Copies of this chain bind each other. A is one copy, B any other.
Amino acid sequence: MTSISAASLASMQTLDTLDTLDTPAALIDVSRMQHNIRRMQERMDALGVRLRPHVKTSKCMEVARAQAAAGATGVTVSTLKEAARCFDDGVTDILYAVGMVASKLPAALALRRRGCALKIVTDSVASAQAIVAFGAEYGETFDVWIEIDTDGHRSGIRPEEDALLEVARTLHEGGARLGGVMTHAGSSYEFDTPQALAAIAEQERAGCVRAAARLRDAGLPCPVVSVGSTPTALSARHLEGVTEVRAGVYVFFDLVMHNIGVCTIDELALSVLTTVIGHQTDKGWAIVDAGWMAMSRDRGTGKQRRDFGYGQVCGIDGSVMPGYVLSGANQEHGILSREGEPDRDIATRFPIGTLLRILPNHACATGAQFPEYHAVSPTGDVAVWPRLHGW
């Protein structure tokens, strides 16, 4: 089904098998991951835009390398630690997509001095002033993108605001390189029909393109128009005027994305391997060793059309067991039960020692609970892929 990048293969020495792994463990189904990477890359190729994957989901170089091998251009990061790790791994085109503040400029400068083509973002005159002042002091021309707010979700300047030109002029006249505009329609997570998703994708596109047009109309440069979220990337009908798309969670997908409707459940590439450690038969509970420390506290499906509790239960082979979910979680204990009528045969269905996989609500949050992934190849070999932790 899949071709694995040379880099991935190189690190895929057989270290273990699923039967002998310590649990809980974060498993990547490498076939599914490669399928997801190809799916998004082919779509972006067809739409005529570059893809700049967000590594905040995986925080893992083996995954980022597979994305690059499939055709991605550069990376998006959510922390300067991710930026430094990517740069150490040979990635130079890096967008740090969180608003820059003065206290983080020395770290950004250090990366640029090492040869990293780091891009930073701002959405305020105050931060723009800090960037140009620091750049002037240290003789550095920062590459700065302006963050645009296209859906009222979080940060950014609305496309029609006066502040857009103020910030742009502060940067441009202050000696920074005005690299472009970027936006993220995070509210796309709130929709679950193709029509609504296409509409929010168009809103994201049109708003960011409009912001770029305003800059250009004012005689200011705006080479890059960067948009994206996984739901909008997979729902946009066209991306006219956009030069690149950023998306993160598509690489693994998760139950939240499944509920939104942009993936099928057999595209979910991340799961948590767990062991049954006990039962409360009268309640129809099996107790497993994946609690919230393994699954994370993310209950993202709680407000969606289908609530999966802390995750969907699957067999060790990845086959979904309909109706069985992690209905509760303590730190190192998960409560596995059947939706609706309790399963009084739970102890015979899932004897102590049974290995299961749990599909998570939110891949970014669940991955963060683990120091490493166990990447399962199509032949069943398991390799350890480390991931970043902290800032």
The answer to whether B351 and A371 have CB atoms under 8 Å apart is no
Q: What's the dominant secondary structure at chain A's contact region?
A: loop
**In this assembly, does A279 line the interface, its C-beta being within 8 Å of a C-beta of chain B?**
yes
- Flag if B330 contacts A277 (CB, 8 Å): no
Are A365 and B292 also in contact (CB < 8 A) when A155-B287, A390-B371 are?
Answer: yes
Q: Which of A339-391 contact B (CB under 8 A)?
A: 351-353, 362, 364-365, 368-372, 389-391
Which of A66-74, A119-127, A196-204, A210-218 binds B? A119-127
Residue of A294, A335, A368 ringed by the most chain B CB atoms within 10 A = A368
Count of residues in A whose CB is under 8 Å from the partner chain: 60
One digit per residue, 1 when the CB lies within 8 angstroms of any chain B CB and 0 when it does not, for chain A 83-126 equals 00000000000000011111110010000000000000001101
B103 adjacent to A154 (CB under 8 Å): no
In the assembled complex, the Cα of A389 lies from the Cα of B368 at a distance in Å of 10
Contact with B along A1-35 (1 / 0, CB 8 A): 00000000000000000000011110000000000
B330 touches A287 (CB 8 A): no
Q: Which of B25, B102, B283, B390 contacts A391 (CB 8 A)?
A: B25
A332 to B97, CA, bound (A): 10
Closest to A59 in B: B293
With an 8 A cutoff between CB atoms, is A186 at the interface? yes
A123-B278, A292-B365, A365-B292 in contact; A353/B154 too (CB < 8 A)?
no
Stretch at the interface among A45-53, A239-247, A296-304, A317-325: A296-304
A289 smallest CB distance to B (angstroms): 7
| CB-based closest 7 A-B pairs | A297-B297, A371-B390, A99-B277, A297-B298, A78-B332, A99-B278, A126-B352
